[in-house]
Each structure stands twice: as structure tokens, then as C-alpha cells.
Amino acid sequence: MSSQTLLNPEIFTSLNDRIEEETAVRETLTQIIQRLERAVATAQALLSRVHGTPRARYPALIEQVEAAIGEQREIIGELSKTASNHPYYKYNSKWSRTVQSAITTAIYTAWLGGFPLDTSPARLGRLASLEDIGKIYQVPTNLKDKDAFHITIEEYLLALTDFTSDLSRLAINSVTMGDFELPLVISTFIKDLFAGFQVLNLKNDILRKRADAVKYDVKRVEDVVYDLSLRGLVKRPTDADTEMKTGA
Amino acid sequence: MSGGVKRDRDGNARAKSARDDAPRGQFHDMFETFRDELDEHYDRRERIIKVSRDVTALSKKIIFSLQRVKNLHAEFPPNIQKEVDSRLAEISTLLNSIAADLTPLNRQRYSYSLRCLEELVEALSFAHYLRHQTLITPAETQAAVPADVQISPFDYMYGVFDLFGELMRFATVTTAQRGELVGNDEGRNILGDIHELGCAYEMLPEIPTKDYRQKITAMRQSVVKVEKLGYGLVVRGSERPKGWVPDMKDDAPDPSSP
């Protein structure tokens, strides 16, 4: 028996190492992501108080949520460090959902008047851009020339669709608390956002589905504004619209 | 922000949702940027999917050609070699057309759309086995890929997974034709090879994906089929006339058999 064998055992040793390495990476990521999930849940819980908080008391609430998001920032920083050691899209699906929820809380807080930035001062009804979100979490956004951790456009857009559904709830609850102006702010904002989604050429995927659902949030807010207008409880909504525009 | 002039949409098909005369919302510019970025991504993915489908079809054709080979350790008959070469050339053109889309960042992003590489690895590994009766190494695979596209260890692993099916078919056909299992002069035959390769795979840590479970199930079935061939030869070998095929319907009772 002289010659070659079927296979070089090294092939399988190396495959074995690769699989084990991948499993280890996934476990590390899972642990980080679980911590992030908890931090996101804290911020979400705090934010849910907005539905029972009059506008005058937003600053106190914002302060608390900002602190909770500070915790997210630290964990996302850790995630970024670990994830950047590996091809980004190999593991991206593991954290994408959680990062989306985190972004939603940051967008929400900025909308309420939190996270003042040099480029975009704090204001009720302000939309934190993707770049703003990057600044809040101190991670890159929409990286194209480098394989490292970042926040993607899709994650940001999906986070926006989560946000609109809560805004429509806020429109209703603000009326209950006697704030008849906030629904108008929300109405303008959410309509413009919906118009923005209409600009996209979406494929038949999750983003399409979620962007399509934004119209129901728009409708809910419109109904609130209609009820208020019908009863003469607000200035004419068109005035509020132009106010928002010039403020933009 | 001034409302007013709405730009033309650039000829994309979703005209019905275009609201060309609506005023520009305050986020319009931001979304336009996103649209351009997303379009780039969708177009790129589309290109990759198309190429991948074609490369898969060509790889399958190569495999069909190779299944017509009758001997191990021999040069392929000229007509088969010609078919293989011309298809590899087509694959090369196709893959090179998307090589620019597969930057290091995007290689993983579209890995699902690029599953043709597994099929290609299957074809290459089968060709290699027929010529040398050995398992192609990852480095040899990379060298045999006729394009500047990286083969990941997992493309290799899943591609070789599919080699089992080809070995099984090849073993079945050649056994029928010759009345013995193909092998080399030193007594190493295809049954031993498929056993050894199967064991190597069984030793790997399990990957908890559906894909992996399906592949390993298919692999085990192929191994069992070749084992039955070997068994049939020993039990009935002396009685069997040349050209008689062991009855593969024996597999029918196995409910998970495809």
C-alpha cells in the first residue's frame, strides 16, 4: 500500500476550528445582545410613561431616558468592538432587531426634545437623522467602504416605522391629558414621514411591509385631528402645518 | 424648507404610488438619499441573484456531463472535457461580471444570494475526485474557481456535502456497468471513500441550522445507498450477470427518503 489517501485530515481539522470559532463568536454576541435587550427594555419602559406625562414634564422624563440610552451606548460600543473583528454581514442578523429597537428609543427621545446636538438642536417634533443616531450611539452609520460595525439604513428605516405606531398612540393620549396641540405636531410629522417612505422604491420585503403599515398610523392621527377640529378644539390645522414647516 | 417643485422620478416602475404634484415634505431630501442607496443595494442583489442562478444551472450541467464518465483515474473523454471547459468558461464570465459587487463588506451581505458557489464547489470536487480519487482541498478549490471570487470555508463545506449525492450516483451507475465498485489498484474503492468522508463529516460539530440538518440527512442516505450496493455485490455477486443492477427500490421503506 503505497499511495495517497482519500483526504487530508487537515481539511477537517481546519473546518472544525472554523465551526468552533463561529460558535464561540455567536455565544459572545448573544451575551452582549441580551444585555442590550435589557437596556432597550428599560428605555422602552421609561418612554411608555410619556403617554401619561404632560408636556411640561417631558424634560424630567427625557433626562431619565437619556441615561438609559447612555447604557445602550456602552453596550453597543462593546458590540461594535466585538462585531468589527468579523465580517459585518455574517452576524448582522443576530443583533439587527435589537439595534432597531434601540434606535427607536433614541429617535423617540430626540423627538420629545432630548439629545441636543450641534447640528440639530433639541426641539419637540424633531427627527433624529441617521447621522444623529450615529452620534448618539457613537458608532458609524451606513458604512460602505469598510467592513466594520455600523448602523444600516434599513435598521434606521425600520426603527422609524416602529416609532410611528407609538406616535399615533401618543396623539390619542395627549388629547386625553388635555393637550390639543400635540396631535397637530404629530400629524404634520407623521404625514411628512409617510410621504418620505413613499419616495422609496421598495422591494417586496420586510421594509415594504412595515412602511406600508405607516399609513394606518397616519390615519389614526388624522382621525384624532378630525375629532378635535370638528369640535373646534384646535386652531385650524393648516396654520399649525405652516408653523411646523417654517420651523423645520 | 420651500415646498413646490417635484422632481421627476427616474423611470422606476412604481408609478402608481408616485405623488408627483404633492408638496415636498420636510424629510424628502433625506428619503431621496435613502432611495438612491437602497436602489444601489437592490440592483446589486438583483445582479448577483441572476448570475447565481445561471452559475447554478451551469454547474449542474457540468455535473451531468461528469456523471457520464465511466472510469476513475483517467483523463475525461474529449467530448466531456470540452463540455466541462466551455461551461467553466461561461461561469468565469458570469462570476467576473459581479466580482466588483463583492467587496469584502458585501461578500457576506449577499452570501445567501450567492449559493451557486456551493454548486460550483460540488462540480469541482466531483471532477477532482474522478481524476484523482481524492477530496479536493479548499486551496485547490479556490484555485479551480475560474474567477476572482472568494470561496469561504462554509461554501466549501456545504459544496462537498453535496458531493455525496454525486458519488452515490456515480457508484450506482459504474457498479451496474462493471459488476464491481470502482476504486484504485490498491483496493481503496468508492464505498470506503464515501465511508471515510462521511465519518469526517460526522466528526464535525453540529451546526444548528435547518440547512445543515438537511444536508447531513441527505449525506447519510447517500452513504446507506452505497453500502447497499456493496452488500448486493457480495451477497449476489457470484450469481449476478454482467449489467444487472442491484434493486434500488430497497430504499422505499425508508420514510425520510426523498
The three three-digit cell numbers of residue B19, written as one number:
405623488
Q: What pLDDT was estimated at residue A84?
A: 95
- By Cβ distance, the residue of A6, A142, A147 closest to B104 is A147
* Least Cα separation, residue B149 to chain A (angstroms): 16
DSSP string, A167-179: HHHHHHHHHHTT-
The three three-digit cell numbers of residue A165, written as one number:
405606531
Q: Which residue of A has its CA nearest to B130?
A: A6
What sign does the CA torsion over A171, A176, A179, A184 have? positive
Q: Tell how far CA A145 is from the center of its chain.
A: 23
* pLDDT digits 0-9 by tens, B152-163: 999 999 999 999
* C-alpha span between A62 and A105 (Å, rounded): 11
Counting one residue from chain A and one from chain B, the pairs whose CB atoms sit within 8 A come to 126
Q: What pLDDT was estimated at residue A118?
A: 87
Q: What pLDDT was estimated at residue A235?
A: 72
CATH topology of domain A1-133: Methane Monooxygenase Hydroxylase; Chain G, domain 1 (1.20.58)
Express as a percent the part of chain A with pLDDT over 90.
86
Q: How confident is the model at residue A242 (pLDDT cuts 50, 70, 90)?
A: low
Q: Does the beta-carbon distance from A4 to B135 stay under 8 Å?
A: no
CATH number of the CATH domain containing B45: 1.20.58.2140
- Rounded mean pLDDT for each run of 10 residues along chain B, 258 residues in total: 47 45 77 95 95 97 95 91 95 94 89 94 96 95 91 94 96 88 89 95 93 95 94 77 60 49
Give phi and psi for B84, each to the nearest 5: -60, -45
Does the beta carbon of A11 lie under 8 angstroms from any beta carbon of chain B?
Answer: yes
Count of domains in chain B? Answer: 1
Contact between A102 and A76 under an 8 Å Cβ cutoff? The reply is: yes
Q: Does the beta-carbon distance from A146 to B153 stay under 8 Å?
A: no
* Cα distances (angstroms) measured from residue A177 to each of A25, A87, A173, A189, B142: 48, 49, 6, 20, 67
Q: What pLDDT was estimated at residue B59?
A: 97
Is the pLDDT reported for residue A210 higher than 80? yes
Q: Tell how far CA B42 is from the center of its chain.
A: 24
Domain hosting residue B153, numbered range: 27-251
Residue B188: DSSP 8-state: -
DSSP string, B203-257: HSPPP-SHHHHHHHHHHHHHHHHHHHHHHHHHHHTTTPPTT----GGGGTT-TT-
- Indicate the CATH number for domain A152-248: 1.20.58.200
Question: Nearest 5 degrees, angle CA B154-CA B155-CA B160?
Answer: 95
* C-alpha span between A139 and A103 (Å, rounded): 12
* pLDDT digits 0-9 by tens, B28-86: 999 999 999 999 999 999 999 999 999 999 999 999 999 999 889 989 999 999 999 99
* Cα distances (angstroms) measured from residue B87 to each of B1, B51, B60, B124: 57, 14, 10, 12
Is the pLDDT reported for residue A165 higher than 90? yes
H-helix segments, B68-115: 78-98, 104-109
Contacts of B154 in chain A (CB under 8 A): 18
Q: Helix, strand, coil % (nearest 5) of chain B?
A: 65, 0, 35
* Cα distances (angstroms) measured from residue A201 to each of A214, B15, B25, B176: 16, 10, 17, 56
- Dihedral (Cα; B159, B165, B166, B168), 10-degree rounding: 150
In a domain, B256, yes or no: no
Contact between A16 and B205 under an 8 Å Cβ cutoff? The reply is: yes
- By Cβ distance, the residue of A19, A145, A195 closest to B207 is A19
Sequence-separated (6 or more) residues with CB below 8 Å from residue A35: A75
In a domain, B10, yes or no: no
Give phi and psi for B41, each to the nearest 5: -65, -45
Q: What pLDDT was estimated at residue B9?
A: 56
Give the other-Cβ count within 10 Å of A159's Cβ: 24
In a domain, B7, yes or no: no
- Identify the residue among B1, B30, B131, B186 best suited for mutation to test binding to A, counting A beta carbons within 10 A and taking the highest: B30
* Cα distances (angstroms) measured from residue A60 to each of A50, A171, A185, B162, B163: 11, 20, 21, 61, 64
Q: Does the beta-carbon distance from B197 to A7 stay under 8 Å?
A: yes
Residue B77: DSSP 8-state: P
Q: What are the domain boundaries of chain A? A: 1-133, 152-248
Encode B60-76: b = buried (16+ Cβ within 10 Å), e = exposed.
Answer: ebbbebbbebeebeeeb
Q: Does the beta-carbon distance from B153 to A18 stay under 8 Å?
A: yes
- By Cβ distance, the residue of A2, A11, A191 closest to B138 is A11
Task: Report the interhelical angle of B210-236 vs B153-178 (nearest 10°).
Answer: 20
In a domain, B179, yes or no: yes
- Identify the residue among A1, A3, A7, A22 best suited for mutation to test binding to B, counting B beta carbons within 10 A and taking the highest: A7
Q: What is the mean pLDDT of residues A64-73?
A: 96
Task: Report the interhelical angle of B78-98 vs B28-67 (nearest 10°).
Answer: 170
- By Cβ distance, the residue of B104, B134, B203 closest to A12 is B203
Q: What pLDDT was estimated at residue B245?
A: 62
In the stretch 77-106 of chain A, residues with CB closer than 8 A to chain B read 87-90, 92
* C-alpha span between A220 and A30 (Å, rounded): 37
In a domain, B257, yes or no: no
Q: Does the beta-carbon distance from A198 to B17 stay under 8 Å?
A: yes
Q: What pLDDT was estimated at residue B23?
A: 61
Q: How confident is the model at residue A78 (pLDDT cuts 50, 70, 90)?
A: very high
Amino acid at A6: L
* C-alpha span between A128 and A108 (Å, rounded): 9
Phi-psi region of B120 (alpha: psi -120 to 50; beta: other; left: phi over 0): alpha
- Mean pLDDT in chain A? 92
Residue B152: DSSP 8-state: P
Is the pLDDT reported for residue A239 higher than 70? no
In the stretch 104-163 of chain A, residues with CB closer than 8 A to chain B read 127, 129-130, 142-147, 153-154, 157
In a domain, B12, yes or no: no
Q: What is the mean pLDDT of residues A170-196?
A: 95
Q: Does the beta-carbon distance from B104 to A87 stay under 8 Å?
A: yes
